[in-house]
Structure 1
């Protein structure tokens, strides 16, 4: 016996033509975003936000646009962390279990993708007004500037916000093919990826700054310095062990800056390559690799020397641009002693 409700499908095509309201509710959105709210509830160091505020001392972006920029960069950054942790099979993020180990990979990917969508929605409020010439089709000629301004999204702004996600593919390719990059290739990858999200210069200078100031290469330099420091601390810092796990970069098979130096310093020795290939979870092989980088190739000494050179140049550029107390305080906090 057929159910009585079968009759509702008699004129189903007509019902599709009728306007309908969305059934998407705030409660459903809240459930979808749980992996994202889980990771953002435990805030990190907010270094990127601090950099935005620091650069804005020079650029003086209007407060409403600055607030949107901070939100958008935060959305992209944290959604990217959700995906990064899946790609790297990480165990900890900010000292707690990674989101995909709690909510599963499908839900975490869905949450990250939805947050990317929300970020692009936010971008719409940053579309600068540009005047376009109206064409009189009847006369076939240009009739001058229109009174009503046309708004168009700045493509470079969007490109820079997501370029760090695209360039992560290079890092993953090196890892999964076990090909050690040259030091120049590594620095270029960082310049094109990590520094693009940290150098908020590119998000300001296209129509948002009220001062018209150009910050030279200072943000890019700081971005490269920050990433190399992060690589060093991952293998040498007890604090990083507590928040991300012991030498997690080795478990991920990552060609970090000290690792690249160690491999290239003695290319005939396959120890580091063998450790990366095994993706060790237990500390024994990790300790062996770290001892090799410390004592044999002196890779940590080399990395520290590079960091001190980059820090010195960053401080010099900050002073050349007129000084910046927020950036100077951040560089003080990031300084690594020998």
Structure 2
């Protein structure tokens, strides 16, 4: 290939390449700086490892305005044979301080998340999985010589780079020698860098040394890639809201088997559509540089249960001017880096590529980095991301079409061979479709998140337990289907209630059968531990019993108690009844889901109980706020910008149900106003105007405010003992925000 051909404009000879000898030097006044390496390493036989590591520095104003220096190092090792990745990240107190300062001033973040994050970072230690560097970082200013707390070091030895790391679960000692001259990197190449960052890359390194995973150290050699990015001015990736999350970024760095290397990147800014277009820099086998436009289009999305981030794991890369077309696929999807640096995560995945260049077949390997826009500007919208994962898991258990294996499992049979195929259509229509109709409607699925968050809180990956999402949602939705029948509700989650479509008999049977999906899932995910299995089943069945007891109280209603309360002017007895019903019907199942996750994770009894207490408070607070929201109706975005009603305005009040605002009003409204208000709605026959007037009175008298304060106090009171038992982590921050959301869902 002749790179001097006129159609390959933008070429530059390697004589104009950046000089790493000068460029590698740390800049004391730079806002952000990253030394990033990646390598494919081969050991004996088919032993292969994908390694990535990065040393970072940040400088910016802390919470008090004084300049703060921050240092972080991270690394990860991916094994394509097992489909597993292990990694560590180590931060100093400066990173925590800059992150706290950024969170405090970022008014675009949902206040519930911002408050929880600032509260956690005020402790001065990085949230898990990040670890605190044991000693201050040392940085030589006249040469590349970094020592990050004795955990990891990077220095220059002639033209080579010497990198070492010794962490809690592994480490490495490598020599990386440049095999090609440096290239300028595309503007958007470093996903972790702030806007305006500059830098260069060494696209091919010869690598040799040792890698240790656990107690085993093994000799390796292979090829690598190095990038040095830097940003000047005030701020940096952790120093302010605009710099902290400027855009979603994607980079692909590849070494091709025809001797070419390329770095392609694109930035997707909020409110803009670049159509997948970006920039690429390529290096020819002779070391010449080619800068060209590139098109990057992603597919095959994978959602991390831990962070709720979604990443495309397959990409089409097109460089029309070079006749280059590549299909890029990750070794396996689960290569997410979780750290406060990306709060909560970034995909850094080793990939394979194949396609054609100038009409000739070509293959390659490299790394894909995807940093989504991680800012949580609306907690409800963020937590609802779990819904798509939950629905995918439900479809495995309740498939779109009759599948003998799935129907056999739902029937309690050992396998598809035991299932009578003549029953498939009827069983699917009457057992599966009513529940699919109910779960496919608009909903938030936050209860499903509770199950997997509980696992993560105690250091257990939730990825192998995705099916728990389905079991939790089917339990909850089954209760809703029954509830709608008993309440004669016609609308649920923005669509006709299941019993109005499939009939009451099929709806009752389908909803009740959904409770037993938990058993189907547990048989798959629980370890072979009879004692643990017994406790998990006991916890689940206790939640079921409580839910049915609460439903019984709900069916009986509280009208007689409300009559007595209004007559005596004493709200306390009816408030106690309503609270008890809410605790049984709503809070106890949420508690059970959380405790199941904690038990599977191996938490001790004290922590299981504290987590259960907290989520019981969250469930009760959610139901109290649900009573408040009923006064104005519930709408959910349809995805096209419009809002769809999922619950009619003052539906409970219109039906004459006693809710928390109505019960609180007994103590807040004068008797001469409370009696007629109750008489108006008591029989469930009030017209629209009367219901609207009653709802307004409940707002005006302070009943709504009393409910909000009670819900907040419930959550805050239960949080403190749990907080003292939990290590600070991303999931601890998010469940704290979930509690605040449950107590006051003002954005709903």
Whether these two folds match at TM > 0.5 is yes
> Counterparts in 2 of 1:145-184, with a 5 A limit?
154-175=537-558, 178-180=560-562, 182-184=574-576
Q: Contact conserved, 1:191 with 1:220, CA < 8 A, in 2?
A: yes
Q: For residues 211 and 205 of structure 1, do their structure 2 counterparts lie closer, same or farther at Cα, with a shift above 3 Å needed?
A: closer
Match of 2:433 in 1: 34
How far does residue 274 in structure 1 lie from its aligned partner after superposition? Answer: 2.3
The superposition leaves residues 33-84 of structure 1 with CA deviations (integer Å, 9 ceiling, x where unpaired) of 2221111112410110122232222234575873343332222111111111
The superposition leaves residues 270-324 of structure 1 with CA deviations (integer Å, 9 ceiling, x where unpaired) of 33432343314742221121122223x4211222222333344355456433341
Partners of 2:602 and 2:428 in 1: how far apart?
Answer: 37
Match of 1:222 in 2: 618
The superposition leaves residues 170-210 of structure 1 with CA deviations (integer Å, 9 ceiling, x where unpaired) of 122124x543352223223322331111122332455x223
Partners of 2:523 and 2:671 in 1: how far apart?
Answer: 50
Q: How many residues align?
A: 299
> Counterparts in 2 of 1:89-168, with a 5 A limit?
89-125=488-524, 126=526, 129-130=529-530, 154-168=537-551
Q: For residues 223 and 157 of structure 1, do their structure 2 counterparts lie closer, same or farther at Cα, with a shift above 3 Å needed?
A: same
Q: For residues 24 and 111 of structure 1, do their structure 2 counterparts lie closer, same or farther at Cα, with a shift above 3 Å needed?
A: farther
- Provide structure 2 residue ranges, at least 5 long, that are not aligned to the other structure: 1-417, 563-572, 637-643
RCO higher in structure (CA 8 A, sep ≥6)? 1
Q: For residues 183 and 65 of structure 1, do their structure 2 counterparts lie closer, same or farther at Cα, with a shift above 3 Å needed?
A: farther
How far does residue 224 in structure 1 lie from its aligned partner after superposition? Answer: 1.4
The superposition leaves residues 107-161 of structure 1 with CA deviations (integer Å, 9 ceiling, x where unpaired) of 2223223323444444555586338xxxxxxxxxxxxxxxxxx989833332224
Q: Contact conserved, 2:434 with 2:510, CA < 8 A, in 1?
A: yes
Match of 1:136 in 2: none
Q: Which of 189, 195, 198 is 2:590 aligned to? A: 198
Q: Which of 729, 735, 738 is 1:330 aligned to? A: 738
Match of 1:293 in 2: 698
| Secondary structure of 1:253 counterpart | coil
Q: For residues 44 and 152 of structure 1, do their structure 2 counterparts lie closer, same or farther at Cα, with a shift above 3 Å needed?
A: closer
Partners of 1:122 and 1:162 in 2: how far apart?
Answer: 20
Q: For residues 130 and 91 of structure 1, do their structure 2 counterparts lie closer, same or farther at Cα, with a shift above 3 Å needed?
A: closer
Q: Contact conserved, 2:680 with 2:686, CA < 8 A, in 1?
A: no
How far does residue 211 in structure 1 lie from its aligned partner after superposition? Answer: 3.9
Match of 1:258 in 2: 661
The superposition leaves residues 9-50 of structure 1 with CA deviations (integer Å, 9 ceiling, x where unpaired) of xxxxxxxxxxx9746533222201222111111241011012
Partners of 2:741 and 2:536 in 1: how far apart?
Answer: 36
Higher strand share: 2
Q: For residues 218 and 106 of structure 1, do their structure 2 counterparts lie closer, same or farther at Cα, with a shift above 3 Å needed?
A: same
| Secondary structure of 1:246 counterpart | coil
Q: Please, what is the CA RMSD of the aligned residues? A: 3.3
Q: For residues 290 and 308 of structure 1, do their structure 2 counterparts lie closer, same or farther at Cα, with a shift above 3 Å needed?
A: same
Length-normalised TM-score, structure 1: 0.75
Match of 1:245 in 2: 648
Structure with larger Rg = 2
Q: Contact conserved, 2:621 with 2:712, CA < 8 A, in 1?
A: no
1:231 aligns with 2:627: yes
Partners of 1:322 and 1:215 in 2: how far apart?
Answer: 16
- Provide structure 1 residue ranges, at least 5 long, that are not aligned to the other structure: 1-19, 132-149
Partners of 2:503 and 2:608 in 1: how far apart?
Answer: 44
Q: For residues 303 and 80 of structure 1, do their structure 2 counterparts lie closer, same or farther at Cα, with a shift above 3 Å needed?
A: same
Length-normalised TM-score, structure 2: 0.36
Q: For residues 21 and 87 of structure 1, do their structure 2 counterparts lie closer, same or farther at Cα, with a shift above 3 Å needed?
A: closer
Higher helix share: 1
1:82 aligns with 2:481: yes
Q: Contact conserved, 2:455 with 2:462, CA < 8 A, in 1?
A: no
Match of 1:273 in 2: 678
